[in-house]
Amino acid sequence: MKYIYTLIFCIASLFASDLVAQAKSEQGYFLVELEKFSPPIRDMIKTFEGFPATPFMANDMKGEERFLGDFKGKPVVLFFWNKASADAVSLLYELNQIQKKFGKKVVIIAMADESRTEVETYLGGNELNIIVIPNTRMLSEAVYGVELGYPRVFFIDETGVIQSVIPQQYFDTHGDHGKILEGAIKNSIK
């Protein structure tokens, strides 16, 4: 019996080392080819698009109670971010400028993982035109696909249905994020 376990271990080790060797290029780097979205990300996006957004009620940075259902009749952008993501932070300010541009035609809600105090400290007194809701980690993880990474954006139409989702993977591989978001918002306004 001892010899069988030893033989299985040797075969498994040889198989694993062969796989590692095949994955390395001549320069010693691992080769990785990404599709537009990896299959798990694409499948997760499909579970959101075309379905009603999960409603939530939470207090914003000013203490005002916000209910997602109150925004029916207007397109809504849900932006999930945390201060650990440099892309998310730069997008926060770009979305603020987009909100100024479109005014009341669209509602942009930034869902921060951090506490109210942490967000206030982080923003350093900079006033934002978008709605910022702190302490949304639980909602983010349980309902709105934390596996999609930070930042991630959900575009919800005026009837409350999620029309599109932009995961972190997209932001990692595409350029001018502000223009991409502005174009998507412009397309959602009727």
Q: Which CATH number fits the domain that encloses residue 66?
A: 3.40.30.10
Q: What is the pLDDT of residue 58?
A: 95
Contact 48, 162 (CB under 8 A): yes
Q: What is the pTM of this model?
A: 0.76
Give yes or no: residues 68 and 52 share one domain. Answer: yes
- What count of other Cβ atoms lies within 10 Å of the Cβ of residue 13? 10
Q: What is the pLDDT of residue 37?
A: 57
Give yes or no: residues 146 and 55 share one domain. Answer: yes
Give yes or no: residues 7 and 92 share one domain. Answer: no
Residue 13 has pLDDT above 70, yes or no: no
Q: What is the rounded distance in angstroms from the CA atom of residue 70 to the CA atom of residue 117?
A: 26
Give yes or no: residues 76 and 149 share one domain. Answer: yes
Domain count, the chain: 2
Give yes or no: residues 103 and 18 share one domain. Answer: no
Which tens digits make up the pLDDT trace of 58-109? 999 999 999 999 999 999 999 999 988 877 778 888 899 999 999 999 999 9
Contact 37, 170 (CB under 8 A): yes
Give yes or no: residues 76 and 170 share one domain. Answer: yes
Domain of 25 in residue numbering reads as 1-33
Q: Which residues pair with 30 in a beta bridge?
A: 24
Q: What is the pLDDT of residue 29?
A: 37
Give yes or no: residues 81 and 112 share one domain. Answer: yes
